[in-house]
């Protein structure tokens, strides 16, 4: 494997590229890959059918792969199911793509997820309490990858995000807080592009999927700032996860299957209290230096409002699967922001931190997606660059 061209400390963070790559490879990536397969972490509750508050729906993407396959009820662990559920028909076992009604009991939160609260997140726009419109999706059956969603609809979302809500600040003269919002979004955008390139429909006629290295190079690798922002976002989210370690370590990951639930608990502890991580990169991002000075509280409200707008924009993503992953990852970022920056600008006393179950699912799945992208960039970046750079 060729060496990475990125070295030194990741901008605005506290760890080196080499350390991040090593920790990701050895510790984070393997544990996260296992974690997201567990029952607790693979079902995400989302409101997928929603009106865009900003402009009328303008048509969808052309591939069948755009649509989300909703969970059939029998797929869920026992405590999630409706009490009167009896025999299964063969169709129940098939992924029910495009099915309008969810087969799951929408009150399962109170039954299967005891111990999790419904508290508002000031950074996001999602209304998690509106159970009637929510659906459960098995994330493992709906991977983030190429969907064919492109053109003016997709472009309009990214343009609205960047121009209205987090413009690229040209230099350090702008405050660090606003730069950080831009970098978080840019890092997420890089990660989405890496996943599109890593799992791409190369030939529609034969349904051949594979890597599109030109796409990965053009959209991410040839822009060092986009690679740097990906690492930044990864470290930012990692910091949030480790900062909430006490809370997350004690939370209930109960899905009614004691063996699997113990595994989830143990994987979480492995990630949260990892001695190698604590020794090599104890504070991946130093949030304590933000929101200082007398304008701090106002600035925070302004950035919070911008992020909420970005969260609302996810309802305008015109491709169901992209909307699912867009919502999940923006909720994950909003959860990281909530953990790192309390509402009133003070440090969170640990015991006051409260997270929704869905926020934790989003946070850990986002960390996993970022970890995958960092791994792909680290492992494939140098060879793709030498192929593409030489052309
Ligand atoms: P885009 O990726 O649309 O980028 C638009 C412009 O933004 C670029 O021209 C550039 O100026 C700037 N830009 C690009 N990357 C960065 C960066 N990292 N940092 C800063 N600026 C940047 N498509 C899928 O196939 N699968 C998905 O799962 C998927 N999920 C999506 C989720 C969301 C929330 C959105 C908005 C779109 C999603 N898309 C998805 C569409 C995809 O992101 C692209 O918009 C689409 O493939 C068209 O790409 P493009 O080449 O026009 O560039």
Residue-level pLDDT at 57: 57
Contact 24, 367 (CB under 8 A): no
Cα separation, 248 vs 267, in Å, equals 11
145 labeled binding residue: yes
H-type alpha helices, the chain = 17-23, 29-35, 39-42, 108-112, 152-159, 176-198, 213-216, 224-243, 245-250, 258-272, 275-280, 296-313, 320-340, 357-389
User: Residue 219, annotated ligand binder?
Assistant: yes
The Cα–Cα gap between 18 and 6 comes to 8
Q: How far apart are CA 209 and CA 17, in angstroms?
A: 30
Q: Is 348 annotated as a binding residue?
A: no
Q: Whose CA is nearest to atom 21 of ligand 1?
A: 186
156 CA → ligand 1 middle, Å: 10
Query: In angstroms, rounded to a whole number, what is the distance separating the alpha carbons of residues 331 and 124?
Result: 7
Smallest CA-to-CA distance from 368 within 266, 271, 246 is with 271
CB 161 within 8 A of CB 214: no
- Å from CA of 13 to ligand 1 middle: 25
Q: How far apart are the C-alpha atoms of 306 and 163, rounded to whole Å?
A: 11
Question: What is the atom index within ligand 1 of the atom nearest the CA of 146?
Answer: 25
Name the 3-class secondary structure at 172.
Answer: coil
Which residues does a 6 A CB cutoff place in the pocket of ligand 1? Answer: 144, 146-147, 149-150, 154-155, 157-158, 186, 189-190, 192-193, 196, 219, 226, 317, 321-322, 325-326
pLDDT the model gives residue 244: 92
Q: What is the pLDDT of residue 54?
A: 76
What pLDDT is attached to residue 80? 54
**Cα-trace Rg, the chain:** 20
CA of 154 to the centre of ligand 1 (A): 7
User: Would you name the residues annotated as active-site residues?
Assistant: 319, 322
**Nearest atom, ligand 1, residue 226 CA:** 18
For residue 176, report the phi and psi dihedrals to the nearest 5 degrees. -65, -35
- The answer to whether the CB of 376 falls within 8 A of the CB of 194 is yes
Residue 228 assigned to a binding site: no
pLDDT at 81: 55
Provide block-wise average pLDDT over 10 residues at a time, the chain (391 residues).
77 90 96 94 81 64 57 57 44 40 44 61 71 75 88 89 74 72 95 97 91 96 95 96 92 85 94 93 88 80 90 87 93 94 52 83 97 96 86 65
| Nearest-angstrom CA–CA distance, 357 and 237 | 17
* pTM assigned to the model: 0.88
ipTM score assigned to the predicted complex: 0.99
- Evaluated on CA atoms 85, 137, 44, 314, the torsion sign reads negative
The answer to whether the beta carbons of residues 277 and 12 sit under 8 Å apart is no
User: What 8-state DSSP symbol labels residue 372?
Assistant: H
């Amino acid at each position: 494997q060729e060496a990475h061209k990125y070295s030194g400390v990741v901008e605005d963070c506290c760890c080196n590229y080499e350390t991040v790559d090593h920790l990701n490879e050895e510790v984070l990536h393997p544990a996260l890959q296992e974690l997201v397969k567990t029952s607790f972490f693979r079902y995400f509750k989302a409101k997928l059918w929603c009106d865009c508050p900003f402009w009328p729906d303008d048509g969808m993407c052309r591939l069948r792969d755009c649509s989300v396959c909703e969970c059939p009820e029998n797929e869920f662990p026992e405590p999630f199911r409706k009490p009167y559920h009896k025999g299964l028909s063969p169709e129940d076992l098939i992924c029910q793509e495009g099915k309008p009604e969810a087969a799951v009991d929408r009150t399962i939160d109170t039954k299967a997820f005891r111990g999790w609260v419904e508290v508002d997140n000031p950074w996001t726009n999602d209304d998690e309490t509106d159970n009637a419109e929510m659906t459960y999706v098995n994330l493992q059956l709906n991977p983030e990858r190429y969907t064919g969603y492109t053109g003016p609809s997709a472009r309009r979302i990214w343009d609205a995000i960047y121009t209205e809500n987090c413009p690229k600040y040209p230099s350090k003269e702008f405050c660090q807080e606003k730069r950080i919002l831009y970098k978080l979004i840019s890092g997420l955008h890089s990660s989405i592009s890496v996943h599109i390139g890593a799992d791409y429909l190369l030939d529609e006629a034969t349904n051949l999927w594979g890597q599109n290295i030109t796409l990965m190079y053009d959209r991410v690798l040839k822009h060092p700032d986009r690679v740097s922002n990906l690492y930044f976002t990864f470290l930012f989210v990692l910091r949030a996860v480790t900062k909430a370690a006490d809370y997350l370590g004690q939370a209930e990951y109960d899905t009614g299957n004691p063996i699997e639930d113990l595994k989830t608990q143990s994987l979480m502890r492995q990630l949260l209290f990892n001695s190698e991580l604590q020794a090599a990169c104890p504070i991946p991002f130093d949030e304590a230096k933000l929101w200082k000075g007398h304008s701090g509280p106002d600035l925070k409200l302004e950035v919070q409002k911008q992020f909420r707008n970005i969260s609302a924009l996810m309802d305008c993503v015109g491709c169901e699967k992209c909307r699912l992953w867009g919502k999940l990852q923006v909720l994950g970022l909003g959860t990281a922001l909530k953990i790192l920056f309390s509402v009133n600008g003070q440090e969170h006393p640990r015991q006051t931190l409260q997270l929704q179950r869905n926020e934790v699912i989003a946070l850990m799945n986002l960390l996993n997606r970022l970890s995958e992208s960092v791994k792909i960039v680290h492992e494939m970046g140098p060879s793709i660059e030498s192929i593409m750079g030489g052309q």
